[in-house]
Structure 1
Amino acid sequence: MKFWVPLICLPTEEYLPLAEAAERLGFAGVLLADHLAVPDEFASVHPSGENPFSAATEFPDPVTMIATLAARTERLRFITYTYILPMRDPFTVAKQFGTLAQVMGGRVSLGCAVGWLREEFELLGQDFGTRGARTDEAIAIIRDFWDDGWAEHHGRFYDFDRTGMFPRPDVRVPVLIGGAGRRALERAVRNDGWLGMNYSWDDVEDKVGTLHRLRKKAGLDGGEFTVFVVANAAPSEATYARLRDMGVTDTLAAAWQAGQPGQPDTETLEDRIAHLEKFAARYL
């Protein structure tokens, strides 16, 4: 099972040294979150049931950050966890992530989701109610461009004739889908994997089992498919063995406690690197 380091809700200046430490210690890669602009006050509630950040939380642009970190590493992989696809147009996303994959030798995956922060969509003038359908169309367009550099699409939200986008990536760019609902799981099965969050053991078993049943029904049983999930359990050999037995392929390296909005961060960069070293020595 692969372990990923979360570069999420941390001081931006820590991203590079933490990424370099993650590569040195043998972690699979790092995760980068995405929010474009967060209203100071919002009523929307995160799918976890909590609001894990505030309008002042640092969310550096993940595409820019991935390019920066990739230039300073050689093996480390990168996943956006998760990129809010329906807040953008598919042309820009196809160009950005296709370029990243091309120059990085395929070390990036587009982890995307439909989003939950209604006020952010409204701020950007995007329709919150159609975000799922727009995501499906956008993924189809993005994949079409990546396939051979050409795309044509006549759908509900996007309508254009044959169009070129070069250079195209000469490696496959995995598209991983975040979200906990049935539609998200079905969307994941149509793509390259699922990005789950923190769940109880019962929920992990239910969602992973649903994924396997959906893939089998679609004739996709077997083959490479990412199942990323985090159990609400303390890190231990038993925790990770149980996840592996359930069919989980990737999980979070829970090397430190996530911070709380409005609370001071008492840990230093040196503390976090020490936590990564301790975690790696025990589990990698």
Structure 2
Amino acid sequence: MKFWQALTWIEPEQLLEAAKFAEEVGFEGVFLGDHGVYPQQVTARYPYSTDGLPPMAPEDPYPDCWVTLGALSAATSTLKFSVSVYVLPLRNVFEVARATGSLDLFSDGRFLFGVGAGWMEDEFDIYGVPFRQRGKRMDEMITILRKLWQGGWVEHQGEYYDFPALQVSPAPGRQVPVLVGGGNKAALRRAARNDGWLGAGSAPEEVPAVLQEIAQYRAEYQRQDQPFETIVGLTTPPDVDTFKRLEAAGMTAGVSYPFKFALGARSSLDEKKRLMEQFAESIIRHCR
């Protein structure tokens, strides 16, 4: 089993060194979080907590994903990168195509595009994007991105996007893996149509049933023979036996908690390094 380190909400000045150390001790990859803006008044209910309250705060840092991942790719050589998750339907599809394609090129194919439909309706209102259309809009955006990543002239006529032949260059010339976050049926089906699933945080006993559901959808879409990643954060403390059991059930990667959860809102770089080293010693080296 592989393991990813969550760098969500980390102090920006520590990002580069934390990523380099994650690579050094054996993590497969690192991921960031994403929000475009954080409204002062949030009325939307967070879907992944029992009380509906989100784990993030307005002051938690969300540096631009593409600037940050570009910097991390230049500072490392084997580490992979993702976002868990990028709120795709908020954004302009052409700008996303250029940013993701450039990142994939400069990182030598180490980028996995983690996307989600988003939960914060207040954010969609600020962007002027219809919240109720976000799922269908995202599906069409993924279709367009896959065309643009291939390079050459691309045209598209769809429900939300209609444009004549155009090019976004340079293009990676490959299909960047698209991993989908979310726990509802629509999100799991969307993941099955693409290249992987990003779990937002599940109890270990819940994971096998979700993986089985996704496997059924993949068979329905005749994608069961395609590569597929399942990067799942667990709500319980890391445990070797649990990870091995879930690997047998089809989970391909586990997650080391965001430092905010493990060490508090703010911590030193040395504290973070010690935590990653402990995770590597107690978990990663026993699950290879």
* 1:170 Cα deviation after fit: 3.2
In the alignment, the residues of structure 1 paired with residue 39 and residue 26 of structure 2 have an alpha-carbon distance, to the nearest angstrom, of 38
User: Residue type of the partner of 2:257?
Assistant: A
CA deviations 1:160-213 (Å, max 9, x no partner) are: 121111111034311111111111111111111111111123431221110111
* 1:120 Cα deviation after fit: 0.9
Instruction: Show the counterpart of 1:237.
Output: 240
Greater shift, 128-137 or 200-209, is seen at 200-209
Greater shift, 148-157 or 88-97, is seen at 148-157
* 1:93 counterpart (93, 96, 99): 96
Q: Does 1:217 align with 2:220?
A: yes
Instruction: Show the counterpart of 1:3.
Output: 3
For residues 1-284 of structure 1, the aligned pairs below 5 Å read 1-49=1-49, 50-254=53-257, 256=259, 258=261, 265=265, 267-284=267-284
In the alignment, the residues of structure 1 paired with residue 62 and residue 171 of structure 2 have an alpha-carbon distance, to the nearest angstrom, of 28
TM-score by length of 1: 0.94
User: Residue type of the partner of 1:114?
Assistant: A
Q: Structure 1 residues 40, 219: closer, same or farther in 2, change over 3 A? A: same
In the alignment, the residues of structure 2 paired with residue 15 and residue 91 of structure 1 have an alpha-carbon distance, to the nearest angstrom, of 27
In the alignment, the residues of structure 1 paired with residue 228 and residue 23 of structure 2 have an alpha-carbon distance, to the nearest angstrom, of 23
In the alignment, the residues of structure 2 paired with residue 35 and residue 85 of structure 1 have an alpha-carbon distance, to the nearest angstrom, of 10
Q: Structure 1 residues 228, 159: closer, same or farther in 2, change over 3 A? A: same
Greater shift, 179-188 or 214-223, is seen at 214-223
User: Residue type of the partner of 1:268?
Assistant: S
> What is the number of residues matched between the two proteins?
281
In the alignment, the residues of structure 2 paired with residue 61 and residue 259 of structure 1 have an alpha-carbon distance, to the nearest angstrom, of 24
Q: Could you tell me the percent identity over the aligned residues? A: 34
**Aligned partner of residue 27 in structure 1, secondary structure:** coil
* 1:257 Cα deviation after fit: 5.8
Contact 1:106 1:172 in 2 (8 A): no
* 1:41 Cα deviation after fit: 1.9
Stretches of structure 1 lacking an aligned partner (at least 5 in a row): none
Contact 1:255 1:275 in 2 (8 A): no
User: Residue type of the partner of 1:265?
Assistant: A
**Aligned partner of residue 261 in structure 2, secondary structure:** coil
CA deviations 1:240-280 (Å, max 9, x no partner) are: 112101100012023856179xxx63532211100111111
Q: Structure 1 residues 150, 117: closer, same or farther in 2, change over 3 A? A: same
* 1:96 Cα deviation after fit: 0.5
* 1:103 Cα deviation after fit: 1.5
Stretches of structure 2 lacking an aligned partner (at least 5 in a row): none
Q: Structure 1 residues 109, 18: closer, same or farther in 2, change over 3 A? A: same
